[in-house]
A and B are shown apart, each in its own frame.
Chain A
């Protein structure tokens, strides 16, 4: 890989449209490519890519590998791996980045092993240092510590956490090249087959897109407040309800509610944490939250260290009073 060049983003698309994760990755990738002074490419895989390749150019890509194959119809990781391994070997990018999506965390590390290189996992920041190496900052020990790691082998790879960059402003007049790729995948590469996908429907907005989130933890004492007080406050503010892992583990709410290291990463303008202690593994999902408000009866709870406003008190008293006060202000 002596002639390795450029940055390659692994982009996801569905229904002919670029996924939000790919737009964020392009913002990260653009910075990396500009520091290297080299082009930014994106690989988009699917059976029918629709307008996604053009969109990728508008969001910062110089070149789009439009990889289409009937086997790529479903996001089957092994099919992605086969196509991406071939593309990476042919194009020799210097840097490859993927997003921390269910597909990215599966495909990224396995691609690294196939290419016999290293990968920095779950990164918050990535940059190119003075030695032209990819350097990444990533949380470890459940978010209690941070490490800075440098990639020593080519291609230098990272999986980047969602909501760590704003997409670049869409510019439809940017020019770029679309390179169609037909990998002619052998369907037998897919050994682990998805038999069915069950979506647990959530009402209203997606957590990942919500501007206001009202979140509950173990301190709520049971499942009911999620459906009652928290939902009432969220509805009043046009927001959605989420939870800490503790509440999911006890079985009060489904996994789709979970914010944190092993749950969702969110980036609301306002995050109201009720009865949540603020363990670092929960805070790991909140690096993009702009304003955190904590309501907790324990004045020493870590959540207060991470919040802009805090009320020390029992949620049973504070939340209904807050709902009423906000109603009166409206």
Chain B
């Protein structure tokens, strides 16, 4: 029996897009990207790290089956397939128009928990520490609660030892080694290291794989009641009042000297 790993992956707006290309719909409370820019979405960066963590467990010599799981209203298949072409085995997409614009962690966790129960048995769920769109950092924790399993959040190393998951959890001034029995949920942070680039061989293999698609009805989920109401969504205004200090003849050394004087005048040094 292989170890069943579920890697949670979310499709998000490319976080590298400059805020000037954002189009905010204050009525619907949605962020969209200026369509004329033709910028494709991406897999949430921390979720690519989750896939990387799963692949490293395989490379440590364990027999694993890696299933990528996501939920959303619509997907760009080529974007999502990156998780497969990195080396995962299967992909399940919970795709339902009712999930359009959902940003409530309670709802997302409930949907994903439903999908994982349908997928079961599972041994280890690996997710990114947070998604770069709503930055909620709640879904994996909620998932652990709904499934009744332990959770180790924000880790930089994930290993399987004697049937337990053993992680290095990032804390402000160091790390903790935390161990939990399986099944469990862990989340990973960028400190784990760079996610790999897909190899040509894996890209070809992924091209032949067809994601399995489930609707909310397939999961028996009808209740999408939220716990929070979004009242407003906006881009905060920044007043630029920066005093740019220039040196004579654009001399940086002179600029530094003038900066020192200004810092002294304003009692900052």
Q: Which residues of A contact B (CB under 8 A)?
A: 78, 102, 105-106, 109-110, 112-114, 117-122, 135, 138-142, 144-153, 191-202, 206, 208, 237, 245, 248-249, 255-256, 261-262, 264, 269-270, 280, 291, 293-294, 299, 304-314, 317-322, 324-326, 328-329
Overall SS of chain A's interface: mixed
Most B CB contacts (10 A, CB to CB) among A261, A308, A321 go to A321
B200 near A: Cβ within 8 Å?
no
Q: Are B256 and A322 in contact (CB under 8 A)?
A: yes
Closest-CB distance, A239 to chain B (whole angstroms): 10
Question: Which residue in B235, B252, B261 is a CB contact (below 8 Å) of A329?
Answer: B261
- Given A78-B150, A261-B135: A321 in contact with B256 (beta carbons within 8 A): yes
* Chain B residues within an 8 Å CB radius of A311: 244-245, 252, 255-256, 259
Most B CB contacts (10 A, CB to CB) among A110, A150, A248 go to A110
Closest-CB distance, B216 to chain A (whole angstroms): 20
Q: Are A113 and B141 in contact (CB under 8 A)?
A: yes
Q: Are A145 and B235 in contact (CB under 8 A)?
A: yes
Which residue from chain B places its CB closest to the CB of A207 in the assembled complex?
B172
25 contacts between A and B (CB under 8 A): A102-B172, A112-B138, A112-B142, A145-B31, A145-B236, A147-B232, A147-B233, A148-B233, A151-B227, A152-B229, A153-B227, A191-B150, A192-B151, A192-B152, A195-B166, A255-B170, A256-B172, A304-B244, A309-B263, A312-B246, A317-B256, A320-B256, A321-B252, A325-B260, A326-B269
Most A CB contacts (10 A, CB to CB) among B136, B149, B261 go to B136
Closest-CB distance, A158 to chain B (whole angstroms): 10
Which residue from chain A places its CB closest to the CB of B165 in the assembled complex?
A192
Q: Are A310 and B233 in contact (CB under 8 A)?
A: no
Q: Are B252 and A248 in contact (CB under 8 A)?
A: no
13 additional A-B pairs beyond A118-B105, A140-B134, beta carbons within 8 Å, are A106-B141, A118-B227, A121-B137, A141-B135, A142-B15, A245-B190, A262-B130, A293-B259, A306-B238, A317-B256, A318-B253, A321-B252, A329-B261
* Chain A residues within an 8 Å CB radius of B98: none
- Of the candidate stretches B76-84, B87-95, B176-184, the one touching chain A is B176-184
Which residue from chain B places its CB closest to the CB of A113 in the assembled complex?
B145
- Given A147-B230, A304-B242: A319 in contact with B176 (beta carbons within 8 A): no
- Given A305-B242, A308-B241: A152 in contact with B256 (beta carbons within 8 A): no
* Chain B residues within an 8 Å CB radius of A320: 256
B215 near A: Cβ within 8 Å?
no
Question: Which residue in A152, A199, A291 is a CB contact (below 8 Å) of B227?
Answer: A152
Q: Are B190 and A197 in contact (CB under 8 A)?
A: no
Q: How many A-B residue pairs have CB under 8 A?
A: 248
Q: Are A308 and B242 in contact (CB under 8 A)?
A: yes
Q: B155-183: contact bitstring with A at CB < 8 Å (1 yes, 0 no)?
A: 01000000000100111111111111100
* Chain B residues within an 8 Å CB radius of A322: 256-257, 259-260
- Given A199-B174, A269-B268: A152 in contact with B137 (beta carbons within 8 A): no
* Chain B residues within an 8 Å CB radius of A139: 135
Which 7 residue pairs spanning A and B have beta carbons closest together? A118-B227, A321-B256, A325-B260, A313-B252, A191-B150, A113-B145, A192-B180
Closest-CB distance, A58 to chain B (whole angstroms): 26
Closest-CB distance, B149 to chain A (whole angstroms): 8
